[in-house]
Each structure stands twice: as structure tokens, then as C-alpha cells.
Amino acid sequence: MTDWQEITGGVTAPRGYQAAGIRAGLKPSGLPDLALILSNVEAIAAGVFTTSQVKAACVDYCRQRLLSKQSARAILCNAGQANAATGSQGWLDALESAMILGQELNIPSESVLLASTGVIGQRIVMDKLKAGIPQLVAALSETGSDAAAEAIVTTDLVTKSIALETMIGDRPVRIGGIAKGSGMIHPNMATLLAFVTCDAAVSPTLWQQMLSRAADRSFNSITVDGDTSTNDSLIALANGQSRTPALTEMGADAEKLEAMLTAVCQHLAKAIARDGEGATCLMEVQVTGASNEQLATQVAKTIAGSSLVKAAIFGRDPNWGRIAAAAGRAGVPFEQESLKIQLGHFLLMENGQPLTFDRATASAYLKQAADSAMPQGMVATDMSNDLSGNRSQIKTQRLDNPVIITVSIGNGNASGKAWGCDLSYDYVKINAEYTT
Amino acid sequence: MTDWQEITGGVTAPRGYQAAGIRAGLKPSGLPDLALILSNVEAIAAGVFTTSQVKAACVDYCRQRLLSKQSARAILCNAGQANAATGSQGWLDALESAMILGQELNIPSESVLLASTGVIGQRIVMDKLKAGIPQLVAALSETGSDAAAEAIVTTDLVTKSIALETMIGDRPVRIGGIAKGSGMIHPNMATLLAFVTCDAAVSPTLWQQMLSRAADRSFNSITVDGDTSTNDSLIALANGQSRTPALTEMGADAEKLEAMLTAVCQHLAKAIARDGEGATCLMEVQVTGASNEQLATQVAKTIAGSSLVKAAIFGRDPNWGRIAAAAGRAGVPFEQESLKIQLGHFLLMENGQPLTFDRATASAYLKQAADSAMPQGMVATDMSNDLSGNRSQIKTQRLDNPVIITVSIGNGNASGKAWGCDLSYDYVKINAEYTT
């Protein structure tokens, strides 16, 4: 199932896509703030959006568009203003944005999907957006993915991008993705956004099913601070330009495609967790022995989201008691006599009872895993955080050496994973001090 | 419904109760660590316990006892060792503790209820417990509530105690309570414990119903860090020594008693939230306009538990966007056009849209509310935190000036409240650094 390879190119790696990112002046910092992804032909479109009752205009807009038509040509994303809690005027701004871009691209505005990230309660600065759109369209390029990835970030320390390729029959199929997000929601600078492109031919229903499952195993399995944004959006296009046979139901090829889609989403999701506000390391929680995957994931997410576990990891403290307590309160029934907990390769608890282990060595494991996970050349305090998403330096990050917590809760066959990060002073600093 | 008055005496304020607290040597610090509450006659007993799958021996023990017999004479509580994740030996230790105390008091061991708090995975130091019990029984006194309240704390900065009195007919009825807790679960020093005494005469079924409802409106409506302990226990005794008519169903007198019971539990719950690890202020969230109380409380708890809201309060930042976002993700359906948010008397959002307000004045409100809520003569860093619950100074706290967040989500008639505290650097410090 993992017979794919990583390639370059992000969302423009699959055939038939262009992208662009420009400075339209929406962010007070003057950094890139307007991004566009374009498929050369109408592409099957699927989406997963925030479950919050308080939603941005772009989320309502995309939901309605995808209900009436499961395809699109373009995704337009602005950073700087979230266009959430902006009432009917915000809705009109969304409609106008799509219309202007449609005119500039000479496509129906119904083929435009929208995403916004930035300050809640602020409308998009429409005159700057309008002035920027011709420039944005002019900048479209088959190598424009990185520019787009940079234009969608706000408080992120790094851009998030990936592309994978596999063979279906004798033809290559590619999936690329870019994402942004640094807290589930950030101060007023909200949001997890992820855009995925694919050149396979796949039916709308199957593509949406695949995307929903992939989201559950990736973006819905990460937690930074337990908060959800008004603007969270995952949009995936599939334009058929690989010229592979159309997939309409699950089967060997569809499974291959879904596995690769899941891998793309997991990479982006882990990159977001690693870039969590104030985080110094990535945490991966693996839960086995559950009766089904959903319950396993629920336990894994509860552990990954526990403030006490997160603070312990920041303190490089092999505190199995907090892991056991978090597992216990996950709302998933299990026998506490079955509980087994491992930190890296250290067995800390078995049959529900603590084991003797070398605390210093286990702490050293945490220290090593965490330290090597630090982006090279970057320290956790190496960041300037302002409302406008002012990041002068976009750095790279390593995801290959997370802190691994393994928990078994019984004899079931199902397993699940979740990802998170540690809880540091900087999380409090970033979220307590940004305006006062 | 609030025709009661506050009186002194804690759990020994109601008639027919004695209490004691001594140093048995269970805490390495040498501070008081063994507490006893005794009713002079068999009392109706009700309990609410942790919902965690990982439970302490004392929780299993109390649950079994209360299933077979809904009355008790004594509550024995040790601090220092949680007796959780201690397997069958922990269970035998619990049984033996009850037996030894029963013998010393010359009552059946079935009339003894148990609670523990301390390090998860550690058995109670039984030889010290055994040696301490005669001394504990000898120390029983009708003014022993404060000594008991001191002996149950671990990392608490203050003891928590209250007693209220009302009239049923022409006779006074009293309810007293003591509690401990500083995080829902603390490092390895777990747990919320609360013990309530009452001298009313009330049937077991009605008493349990009243207690369950009161717990929902108090202890189940506070959040410090979202974590739940293996040992959380609320136990309430009603011994009938007020010589008031026996209450067997709801009615005017029963409602009066339940309202007072709820007030006792809310006072203790707020005291725990205010004493949350690293907290600098108490936060009260009031939600109105919901279709039922449970949904209102769910929204209130989500706001009070949001890391982003908590960090904003610590930063004295009137950040309505985070409050709106937390309300939106609470899992309670509402029209975002109905959302109204107030901070103290400042209206920040109405009809789902942000209002212009004076940020400096609103921030000053937060600062004033928070600063006046600080225990007099105490600063947030004025604490020594060690595994054994080493608190050399137990201070008092003020609960009368919380930060008040008011949210309306529609036109429903139901309202609900939740309490929490802010998220400070000290929370991270306490939970990241205690062993390493």
C-alpha cells in the first residue's frame, strides 16, 4: 500500500495544475497574502469543513457550492482577514471575490472555491483584493506551489507542502498538498487550511468518501490546543489529467489512491502539529487493542490533547501516570488491568500496573527525540508573532523523529493514531501577550 | 431559595458530626495527611465518583459499599498515595484500612467509606496508616473540620471549607463541606475530593438524586485543565440529627435543602477552580438563551475550558473572538446571528457581529477583577510544589469578584454556568518541571 514516492512540486506536481501567491497588501506586514490554485480543466471537488456553529463566509460559500456542483476549477485563499462574524456583508464579499476571479479567469464564478484566514470579525479588504487579482492570475505557474504555500500562512513558522506519486496501471498518478495552521485556532489569526490536488479520474462521491476518511485519519487526529476554528477547510480537487481509468468504487486502484491521499493529509497534519504554537516537538500516540479504529483514535486523541501529558513532554518527564489517566477519561470502556503503556521502546506500565524503569534513560529518550525534532537552526523562541502573521523567516522542519507514545487497551484488533505537540511557556506567551 | 446563612464549622457544623486530621507520616513532607469524618449515628450516604476507566481502589470500594448499603458512619481519607494502579494489593489495602478503622471505632467496616489522593501507582504506606488510626480517632472533635480540611490537601494553596444553615419548619438544618483539588488531576498528585455533611433527614434515593444534580451544577461544571483524576470522589452524609421531618420526595422543603446543598458544592467547586494550578483569577461563564440547562452548561464549560480563552484572560485581553470560537465548537447547535457576548458589563458582540468597544477599559476590567481576586498577601508564584504536597502555608482566597463572561446563544429559556481559571506560565511550570 505504500508503493509511492515523494516528489517535488506540491499542489502543482499533479498534471494540469497551476498556482500562484502574491502580496496584495491584505496583511499589514506586507508579506504574501493571496493564493490561487487553478486546474486547467474542471476538476472533481470534495471538501471537509469546520463543525463550528460560528463559521466564516467562505465556509458557508464552499458548502453551498459543493452541494449544488461537485466540481471546481479554482481555489482562492486570502490571509489577513478571516471574514468570519462579518454578517451579510461578509457573505457579499465572498460572492464578489468569486465573481471577480471568475471574470479574470474567464470561468463561471460557480467554479471558484474560497478560503480565508486571519482576524475574526474583519472583512476582507476588498479594494486590495480586487487590485491583486489580475496580478495573481498573471503570476499563475506550473511551479507556483511554494508561492501559494507561503501566501496562506499566518502565524506558522514553516510552510507545509508535500507531493507523492504512484502508478495506476502503467501511468503515474500524483497527489500534492499545501496547508497552514499553527493552532486549531489561533488568537484572532485562525485556522487550519489544506488544499490537495490530484490528477486521477475519480467520481465525485468516491472522492468525497476518500477525503472524509483521509481527514479523519489526519487532520481530525491532530490536536494543538483543542480549539477549532471558524474557518477550518480542507478542499481536494481531482482533475483526471493523469489519463488513468475513472475510479467509481473501491477496489485495488482506489485503495491505492486513498492510501496515498491519506499519506498526503497525514504529512500535512503532522507538519501542523509540529508547528503548534510554542511546540518544541511532535508527539505521535499509537493506540492498539481497541474494538474499532474510531475508539482507538479517540483514546489517542485524548492522550495527545491532555495538557498534563503535553506539559510532561515539554518537561521531558516520562510521566506514565498522566498517560494512564488521560486514557482512562477518553470515554472508551476498557479493563484497567489490560492497560499497557510504552514511551519509545520503554515499557512503563503493563497489566494496569506500573513497572520499574530507568527514569533517567527514558527522560533522555524524550530529550533526544524532542531535540532532534527541532527545526535545524531554529529555536522555539525564534519567532515574531503579530496579528498580521508577520513571519519574516519561513524555516523547514523535521517530522521523522517524533516522541512516540504507545498504548494498548485490550485484545481488540483495531488501532488508531493521533498527533500533537508539547505545551510550553511559549504557548502561553503567544496566546496571552499578543495584544496587551 | 437563598434564605440560608453562612456559619462556621465546616463539616462539623451540622449536628452529630466530628472530624479530625493528623500527621501520620504518609506525606514525605511530614504535613497532615490523614483525615476522618464521623457521624455519631448511621447516616444516609450518597456519592459521585470519577468516570475514568482507570480508577483508584477507594473508588471501587465506595461504589460497591454504596450499592449494597446506602448509609455510612465514617469517611477515612489519606493524602500522599493515591492507591490507584496498584492492582489487587491496592484493593486489599483498602479493605484493611476500612477494617482497622471499623475496629478502632467499634463500628462495622461496612460503615466506613474511603478516599485517597497522592501519587498514582503508590500503595498506601500501611504501617504508618495503622499506627496513625488510633491517634486519628483520639483526635476526633466537634470542631475538627479545619484539621480534616488541612489533612486532605496535596498541591492546594488553600483549604476549602463552607457551612450553611437554613430553617425547615422551626428547626435549623445545616450542610457543611470540605474539599481539595488544584487540577482535575495533578501530576501524580491527583484528584478532586469533596466531603459534605448534613443533619437533615432524607431518604437514600432522594439524597443521591439531590447530590447528583448538585454535582452537575458545581463540580461537573468546573474545569482547570480538562483532565480527570483516577480518584475523584464526592461523598455526602445526611444523619437526620436536625430532627426535621424526613424528606422522601421533592417539595418545598426538599427544594430548599437541595438549593443549599448546591450552594455548598458550588462554593467548594469555585474554590477549587480559583486554586487551579498556576491560576491568577476565577472565571465564571454564564450562558443564557439555550433550550435546556445541559446544553447551556455545555457551552459554558467549553468556553471556560478553552486554552485560548484562558490564556487571553491571563493576558487581560478582552478577546471576544476566542469566546465566540469556543462557543461555536461546543457541539450545541445555535444560529450564529443570535450570538451575544459580554465581558463584565462590556458588550463585545451582538447578533453575531463584533461591536466597537473600548479595549483599554475592558482590559482594565479584567485586570481589576483578576487582581482583586488574588488571595490577599499571596502572589501566584508564592508556592512550593513537590510530589508530597508540601505546602507550608495554607492561605485564604477570595471568590467574590470573578471575571464574568456572559454569552447568549438564542431565545431559549434555559441558562447554565461554569467556572474555570486562567492559563498562566505557572501552569506549565508546575506540570513540566516537577520531576526534572
Residue A214 CB coordination number (10 Å): 27
Are B87 and A229 an interchain contact pair (Cβ–Cβ within 8 Å)? Answer: no
From chain B residues 9-68, the ones with a CB under 8 A of any chain A CB are 50-55
User: Is B85 at the interface with chain A, CB within 8 A?
Assistant: yes
| The pLDDT value given to residue B186 | 41
B166 and B256 in contact (C-beta within 8 Å)? yes
Q: How many residues does chain B have?
A: 436
pLDDT at A409: 96
Nearest-5° Cα angle at A168, A149 to A258: 55
Query: Residue B356: what pLDDT?
Result: 87
Whether residues B307 and A85 touch (CB distance < 8 A) is answered with no
Spell out which residues of chain B touch residue A353, defining contact as CB-CB under 8 Å: 85-87, 121
- Which residue type, as a one-letter code, is found at position A389? G
Residue ranges, CATH 3.60.70.12, chain A: 5-274
Q: For residues B28 and B122, what is the distance between their CA atoms, to the nearest angstrom?
A: 13
B residues 301..330 contacting A (CB < 8 A): 305-308, 311-312, 314-317, 319-322, 324-330
**CATH number of this structure's domain A282-432:** 3.10.20.340
Residue-level pLDDT at B392 = 41
User: In this predicted structure, what is the pLDDT of residue B293?
Assistant: 95
- Residue whose C-alpha cell reads 475538627 in the numeric block: B144
CATH (one of 3.60.70.12, 3.40.50.720, 3.20.20.70, 3.30.420.40) for A5-274: 3.60.70.12
The answer to whether B228 contacts A325, with C-beta atoms less than 8 Å apart, is yes
Can you read off the three cell numbers belonging to residue A300? 489517542
- The pLDDT score that the predictor gives to residue B192 is 87
In the Cβ-directed half-sphere of A429, how many Cα atoms lie within 13 Å?
13
Select from B227, B302, B349, B381 the residue whose CB has the most chain A CBs within 10 Å, as the one to mutate to test that interface. Answer: B227
Residue B25 CB neighbour total at 10 angstroms: 16
pLDDT tens track for A285-344: 999 999 999 999 999 999 998 888 998 999 998 888 889 988 998 989 999 889 999 999
Q: What is the pLDDT of residue B333?
A: 93
Q: How many CB pairs under 8 A join A and B?
A: 222
User: Considering only CB atoms, which chain A residues are within 8 Å of B332?
Assistant: 53
Q: Shortest CB distance from B428 goes to which of A190, A314, A326?
A: A314
For cell 498518478, what's the residue? A173
Give 10-residue mean pLDDT values along chain B (436 residues). Answer: 88 98 96 97 95 90 96 97 90 97 98 92 95 98 97 89 95 96 52 93 97 93 75 94 96 96 94 86 95 95 90 89 88 92 93 88 84 44 35 60 94 94 85 59
Task: Sort residue B158 into left (φ over 0), alpha (ψ -120 to 50) or beta.
Answer: beta
Interface test with A, best of B308, B359, B366 (most A CBs within 10 A): B308
Per-residue confidence (pLDDT) for residue B226, from 0 to 100: 63
pLDDT of amino acid B251: 95
Which residues make beta-bridge pairs with B283? B403, B420
Residue B434's pLDDT is 52
Query: For chain A, where do the domains classified as CATH 3.10.20.340 start and end?
Result: 282-432
Report the C-alpha gap between B357 and A175 in whole angstroms.
Answer: 47
A 161-200 near B (Cβ less than 8 A): 183, 185, 187-188, 190
What's the CA gap between B285 and B407, in Å, rounded?
8
Question: Is A183–B121 a contact, with Cβ atoms under 8 angstroms apart?
Answer: no
pLDDT at residue A225, rounded to an integer: 66
How confident is the model at residue B121, as a pLDDT?
83
| A332 interface with B at CB cutoff 8 Å | yes
Catalytic residue among A117, A191, A230, A302: A191
- Whether chain A has a CB inside 8 Å of the CB on B436: the answer is yes
CB of B432 within 8 Å of a chain A CB? The answer is: yes
- Rg of the Cα atoms in chain B: 21
- The alpha-carbon gap from B354 to the nearest alpha carbon of chain A, in Å, equals 6
- Closest Cα in chain A to B349: A85
* pLDDT of A387: 36
Window 119-138 of B, Cβ < 8 Å to A: 119-121
Question: Three cell numbers at B276?
Answer: 487551579
Proportion of chain A in helix, strand, coil states, percent, rounded to 5: 35, 25, 40
Each residue's pLDDT expressed in tens, for chain A with a length of 436 residues:
578 999 999 999 999 999 999 999 999 999 999 999 999 999 999 999 988 888 899 999 999 999 999 999 999 999 999 998 888 899 999 999 999 999 999 999 999 999 999 888 889 999 999 999 999 999 999 999 999 999 999 878 889 999 999 999 999 999 999 999 876 444 344 468 999 999 999 999 999 999 999 999 999 888 776 666 788 899 999 999 999 999 999 999 999 999 999 999 999 999 988 888 788 899 999 999 999 999 999 999 999 988 889 989 999 988 888 899 889 989 899 998 899 999 999 999 999 888 888 888 999 898 887 665 544 433 333 333 333 344 444 456 778 789 999 999 999 999 999 999 998 888 888 777 654 3
Residue A24 has phi, psi (to 5 degrees) of -100, -5
